[in-house]
Amino acid sequence: MVMELVKQRSVAGHFLAELRDAEVQKDAMRFRRNLERIGEVLAMEMSRTLEYEEREVTTPLGLARVEMLTEQPVLATILRAGLPMHQGLLNYFDRADNAFISAYRKHRKGEEGFDIEVEYLSSPSLHDRVLVICDPMLATGQSMVLVYRALLRLGTPKSLHVVAAIASAEGLEHARLHLPAGTRFWIGAIDEEMTAQAYIVPGLGDAGDLAYGRKS
């Protein structure tokens, strides 16, 4: 299942428009906040598909029958660009366990191509857990697939959700082909093109640099 947020008219489209706008991007704090807000909106949409159970809570005036999540997910984030969206997800799944993965593009000397390097991973056990992997940009899809495979060292999740602000059509298809059947994708917007350097067009640029400053 793929959910594309911009197909449902809402204020979230405004957040995405500001993320893309080169003028608004000059305000790094607002850029981070908009990524966080997209994470919050996608967390709400995702929450509709999770499992709940009816419970009874005591109010000051009596008893109320309510529905509560049966379990909190594990929120996994690809560093560093994923941190603002991770915070948005965590604002809603506030008792979730968390995982952090360092993955980056290692460019080959004298070539346009690159390899994906996964260097660091910190995660709780994932055995039979609901796993959510967050990365603001799903470009080629390779990082997402490699990160998922790296996380399998910590156990096999019972379900997988992928969250991204913007995805390329090609990267989304790659992820759908190489991630488990039944994976749900929660995407802000899907763009049709990528450059030769694997940047999404029109996209928004380098999310990590825009959120935290240029790296050398």
Q: Which residues form the domain of 161?
A: 2-212
Q: Which pLDDT tens digit goes with each residue over 73-114?
A: 999 999 889 999 999 999 999 999 999 998 766 555 555 555
pTM to 2 decimal places: 0.91
CATH number at residue 54: 3.40.50.2020
Give the strand pairing for 200-201 and 193-194.
antiparallel
pLDDT value at residue 124:
96
Q: Are 5 and 36 in contact (CB under 8 A)?
A: no
* Mean local confidence (pLDDT), 50-72: 97
Q: Count of domains in the chain?
A: 1
Tokens at 20, concatenated: 């893309």
Residue 67: what are its φ and ψ, rounded to 5°? -110, 130
In this structure, the dihedral spanned by the alpha carbons of residues 159, 165, 169 and 173, taken in order and rounded to 10 degrees, is -10
Instruction: Please determine, for residue 120, whether its predicted confidence score (pLDDT) is greater than 90.
Output: no
